[in-house]
Amino acid sequence: MFDVLITHIQEKVDINADQIELLKSFFTQKKLSRKEFLLKEGEICKNLAFVSKGILKSYILDERGNERINLFAFEGWWISDFNSFLHQEKAFLNIDAIEESELLLLSRDNYEELTLKIPIMDRYALIASYLGLSPETVSRIRKKISHQ
Protein backbone atom coordinates (compact mmCIF):
# COMPACT_ATOMS: atom_id res chain seq x y z
CA MET A 1 0.00 0.00 0.00
CA PHE A 2 2.97 2.33 0.61
CA ASP A 3 4.63 1.84 -2.80
CA VAL A 4 2.62 4.57 -4.53
CA LEU A 5 3.25 7.05 -1.69
CA ILE A 6 6.98 6.35 -1.56
CA THR A 7 7.30 6.76 -5.33
CA HIS A 8 5.35 10.04 -5.16
CA ILE A 9 7.59 11.39 -2.40
CA GLN A 10 10.79 10.29 -4.12
CA GLU A 11 9.74 12.22 -7.24
CA LYS A 12 9.76 15.42 -5.15
CA VAL A 13 12.50 15.01 -2.53
CA ASP A 14 15.43 12.75 -1.66
CA ILE A 15 14.51 10.39 1.16
CA ASN A 16 16.61 7.47 2.39
CA ALA A 17 15.56 3.96 3.44
CA ASP A 18 15.62 4.74 7.18
CA GLN A 19 13.45 7.79 6.65
CA ILE A 20 11.02 5.74 4.56
CA GLU A 21 10.60 3.20 7.35
CA LEU A 22 10.02 5.96 9.89
CA LEU A 23 7.60 7.70 7.52
CA LYS A 24 5.41 4.59 7.32
CA SER A 25 4.87 4.66 11.09
CA PHE A 26 3.00 7.99 10.86
CA PHE A 27 0.27 6.68 8.56
CA THR A 28 -2.76 4.50 9.16
CA GLN A 29 -4.28 2.38 6.44
CA LYS A 30 -7.95 2.54 5.52
CA LYS A 31 -10.08 0.83 2.91
CA LEU A 32 -13.28 2.36 1.60
CA SER A 33 -16.06 0.59 -0.26
CA ARG A 34 -17.74 2.18 -3.23
CA LYS A 35 -19.85 5.19 -2.08
CA GLU A 36 -18.42 5.00 1.48
CA PHE A 37 -17.65 8.39 3.00
CA LEU A 38 -14.24 9.51 4.16
CA LEU A 39 -15.69 12.85 5.31
CA LYS A 40 -19.13 14.42 5.50
CA GLU A 41 -19.94 18.10 5.46
CA GLY A 42 -20.11 19.42 9.04
CA GLU A 43 -17.58 16.93 10.46
CA ILE A 44 -14.08 17.95 11.50
CA CYS A 45 -11.47 16.71 9.03
CA LYS A 46 -8.97 14.75 11.10
CA ASN A 47 -6.74 13.39 8.33
CA LEU A 48 -5.01 14.09 5.09
CA ALA A 49 -5.66 11.12 2.81
CA PHE A 50 -3.30 9.74 0.19
CA VAL A 51 -4.99 7.55 -2.42
CA SER A 52 -2.94 4.36 -2.88
CA LYS A 53 -5.64 2.66 -4.95
CA GLY A 54 -9.02 3.72 -6.29
CA ILE A 55 -10.73 7.06 -6.89
CA LEU A 56 -12.37 9.49 -4.48
CA LYS A 57 -14.32 12.67 -5.11
CA SER A 58 -14.85 15.79 -3.05
CA TYR A 59 -17.98 17.83 -3.53
CA ILE A 60 -20.60 20.09 -2.03
CA LEU A 61 -24.34 19.61 -2.24
CA ASP A 62 -26.28 22.51 -3.74
CA GLU A 63 -29.67 23.71 -2.51
CA ARG A 64 -31.38 21.02 -4.62
CA GLY A 65 -29.18 18.23 -3.27
CA ASN A 66 -27.13 17.91 -6.46
CA GLU A 67 -23.43 17.17 -6.19
CA ARG A 68 -21.06 19.93 -7.27
CA ILE A 69 -17.76 18.11 -7.65
CA ASN A 70 -14.60 20.12 -7.08
CA LEU A 71 -11.99 17.33 -7.23
CA PHE A 72 -11.44 13.75 -8.30
CA ALA A 73 -8.51 12.15 -6.46
CA PHE A 74 -6.90 9.31 -8.37
CA GLU A 75 -4.16 6.92 -7.31
CA GLY A 76 -1.19 9.00 -6.16
CA TRP A 77 -3.24 12.06 -5.16
CA TRP A 78 -3.90 13.67 -1.80
CA ILE A 79 -7.44 14.59 -0.77
CA SER A 80 -8.90 16.37 2.23
CA ASP A 81 -10.91 19.38 3.30
CA PHE A 82 -7.68 21.29 3.93
CA ASN A 83 -9.30 24.25 5.66
CA SER A 84 -11.09 21.96 8.10
CA PHE A 85 -7.90 19.95 8.63
CA LEU A 86 -5.70 22.97 9.31
CA HIS A 87 -8.13 24.98 11.44
CA GLN A 88 -10.11 22.08 12.94
CA GLU A 89 -13.36 23.70 11.80
CA LYS A 90 -16.43 21.99 10.35
CA ALA A 91 -15.84 20.59 6.88
CA PHE A 92 -17.38 22.31 3.90
CA LEU A 93 -16.84 19.27 1.65
CA ASN A 94 -18.10 15.72 1.36
CA ILE A 95 -15.53 13.12 0.31
CA ASP A 96 -16.47 9.60 -0.76
CA ALA A 97 -15.15 6.71 -2.80
CA ILE A 98 -16.21 6.29 -6.41
CA GLU A 99 -14.79 2.78 -6.37
CA GLU A 100 -13.22 0.50 -3.79
CA SER A 101 -10.21 2.42 -2.54
CA GLU A 102 -7.17 2.08 -0.30
CA LEU A 103 -5.95 5.12 1.59
CA LEU A 104 -3.06 6.15 3.79
CA LEU A 105 -4.23 8.60 6.44
CA LEU A 106 -2.05 11.19 8.15
CA SER A 107 -3.48 12.84 11.26
CA ARG A 108 -2.75 16.46 12.14
CA ASP A 109 -0.55 15.47 15.11
CA ASN A 110 1.32 12.90 13.02
CA TYR A 111 1.78 15.45 10.23
CA GLU A 112 3.46 17.87 12.65
CA GLU A 113 5.63 15.14 14.20
CA LEU A 114 6.55 13.78 10.77
CA THR A 115 7.85 17.15 9.60
CA LEU A 116 9.88 17.49 12.81
CA LYS A 117 11.45 14.01 12.64
CA ILE A 118 11.95 14.00 8.86
CA PRO A 119 12.55 17.68 7.98
CA ILE A 120 12.72 17.03 4.22
CA MET A 121 9.02 16.16 4.40
CA ASP A 122 8.24 19.77 5.21
CA ARG A 123 9.62 20.64 1.81
CA TYR A 124 7.54 17.89 0.19
CA ALA A 125 4.40 19.15 1.95
CA LEU A 126 4.58 22.69 0.42
CA ILE A 127 1.63 23.59 -1.74
CA ALA A 128 4.06 23.43 -4.66
CA SER A 129 4.07 19.64 -4.49
CA TYR A 130 0.31 19.64 -5.03
CA LEU A 131 0.85 21.81 -8.09
CA GLY A 132 3.57 19.54 -9.42
CA LEU A 133 6.38 22.07 -9.09
CA SER A 134 9.86 20.73 -8.48
CA PRO A 135 11.83 21.87 -5.42
CA GLU A 136 14.26 23.59 -7.79
CA THR A 137 11.43 25.64 -9.32
CA VAL A 138 10.23 26.65 -5.85
CA SER A 139 13.79 27.74 -4.97
CA ARG A 140 14.00 29.90 -8.10
CA ILE A 141 10.63 31.51 -7.34
CA ARG A 142 11.68 32.24 -3.74
CA LYS A 143 14.96 33.74 -4.93
CA LYS A 144 13.18 36.05 -7.38
CA ILE A 145 10.72 37.17 -4.73
CA SER A 146 13.48 37.89 -2.19
CA HIS A 147 15.33 40.09 -4.71
CA GLN A 148 12.28 42.24 -5.43
Residues 85-119: tens digit of each pLDDT: 888 999 999 999 999 999 999 998 998 899 889 98
> Tell me, what CATH number does 125's domain have?
2.60.120.10
How far, CA to CA in Å, does 3 sit from each of 50, 83, 103, 123? 12, 28, 12, 20
Number of domains in the chain: 1
How many residues does this entry show for the chain? 148
Q: 143 pLDDT band (50/70/90 cuts)?
A: low
130 vs 63, higher pLDDT: 63
Q: What percent of the chain has pLDDT over 70?
A: 85
Range of the domain at 30: 3-147
Instruction: Check pLDDT > 90 for residue 25.
Output: yes
Residues 6+ apart with CB under 8 A from 76: 4, 7, 8, 51
